[in-house]
Amino acid sequence: MSKFKKRDKSASANRINRNFFYVTLILLIVGLVFVADISAPQALNEFDDKFYFFKSQLGASGVGLLLMFIFSKINYNFWKKLATPLFFISVFLLILVLIPEIGLKVYGARRWISLFGFNFQPVEIVKLTLALYLAKVASSDKKDIAYFFPLGLVAGLVMLQPDLGSTLVVTTIGMVQIFVSGMSLIHFFGTILAGLIAVILLIVISPYRRDRLFTFLSVTSDPLGKDYHIRQILLAIGSGGIFGLGIGQSKQKYLFLPEAATDSIFAAIAEEVGLIGSILIIGIFVYFVYQVFKIALSSPDTFSKVFASGIGAWIGGQVFLNMASMTALTPLTGIPLPFFSHGGTSLVMILSACGILLNISRYEAKKITSNR
């Protein structure tokens, strides 16, 4: 009987982290429901099909789930071998997007590439490849410059689009991974100080960023102009009250709230589910990030630990930036909410990263069992 138990225990060592898998599926399903709900008016107005954005997101979900399943079966060390070429390919794509004949310009920024009838955002790809590359650097015991050069290169190219929100996310990924890798604290905090100075300078020298900052500081100065977006966001959140207006009952999604299907989707969701529902969604995100860092802490080697930490910083940082700007805690930044905002590139890359994390969790379980 005892031998049977031991065999059963040993067999469970190769299982994925089920809690992480389930919370990922929950976020994906809930996100699809709200994309179908919130995006309908905009989709009907622009494409004469109220399910246009939902069908697009559903297709991306299918591709992402397939990649997540495949990657969960591939030994994570495989990605260590591909980290360098994948990183430089994504950097090349960041350069291509800046070329007028190739990069698509939307709202004054070049963030999209159209290829074979598909549009995608290179910055969403580089978030994953940067995390992989810096994890490889950490496992190779290289000097500090080996971290800062690729991070500075990516941040600089993303800033040229321009995209301050994604620059902050990319920087967060890099800084968390650098900290986890064991860099000197003097160098680490010196880098943070330099980064803060750089952000301030970027805001000061850019008219549109200055406008966003001044709008944040004086939200009632121009209600029909520069303040319109944040006022509609706060109106949506405030209208939700404690319990919300009910699923499908948002008023602001009817073309009052700019970017309701993408960057501002959380405001429309809060209008429908209220404070209680919003706290529940935030709680699910917190649990997701907790599970990512739990995988990182129990990972079998430096590469997997630093990579998992980078993914946690990516998703957690992006969720924080989006929700903070939606609740007027920070100036508005054009950053999507993971799993919820419409955007195929982002969703596919996030699910791909989750697949690699699931594979890492298999070896985490094996390591724990072997120590007993």
Q: Mind listing the pLDDT tens digit for each residue in 112-158?
A: 887 766 788 999 999 999 999 999 999 987 777 788 889 989 998 99
Residue 214's pLDDT is 60
DSSP state of 112: E
Residue 256's pLDDT is 87
134-137: long-range contacts at Cβ-Cβ below 8 A with a sequence spacing of 24 or more?
Answer: 134/173, 134/174, 134/177, 134/178, 134/181, 134/306, 134/310, 135/80, 135/83, 135/177, 135/302, 135/303, 135/304, 135/306, 135/307, 135/310, 136/80, 136/83, 136/84, 136/303, 137/181
Residue range of the domain that includes 347: 16-366
DSSP state of 336: P
3-state secondary structure of 103: strand
Residue 368's pLDDT is 45
Q: How many domains does the chain have?
A: 1
Residue 138's pLDDT is 92
Terminal-residue alpha carbon distance, the chain? 18
In angstroms, the CA 245 to CA 272 distance is 5
pTM of the model: 0.87
Q: Mind listing the pLDDT tens digit for each residue in 268-290?
A: 999 999 999 999 999 999 999 99
Q: Within 10 Å of residue 113's Cβ, how many Cβ atoms?
A: 19
Residue 10 covered by a domain: no
CB 263 within 8 A of CB 107: no
Q: Within 10 Å of residue 104's Cβ, how many Cβ atoms?
A: 14
Residue 50 covered by a domain: yes
In the chain, where does DSSP find H-type helix?
A: 2-11, 18-38, 40-47, 52-73, 77-96, 122-139, 145-159, 164-180, 185-205, 207-217, 228-240, 265-297, 302-326, 344-370
In angstroms, the CA 42 to CA 47 distance is 8
Hey, what amino acid is at 215? T
| Regions of the chain with pLDDT less than 50 | 1-13, 219, 365-372
Of the candidates 367, 356, 369, the one whose C-alpha atom is nearest the C-alpha of residue 78 is 356
Residue 120's pLDDT is 86
CB 80 within 8 A of CB 303: yes
CA dihedral 120, 91, 311, 264 (to 10 degrees): -40
Residue 78's pLDDT is 96
Residue 372 covered by a domain: no
Residue 282 covered by a domain: yes
DSSP state of 14: G
DSSP state of 17: -
CB 309 within 8 A of CB 299: no
Residue 120 covered by a domain: yes
Residue 7 covered by a domain: no
Residue 222 covered by a domain: yes
Residue 304 covered by a domain: yes
Residue 113's pLDDT is 87
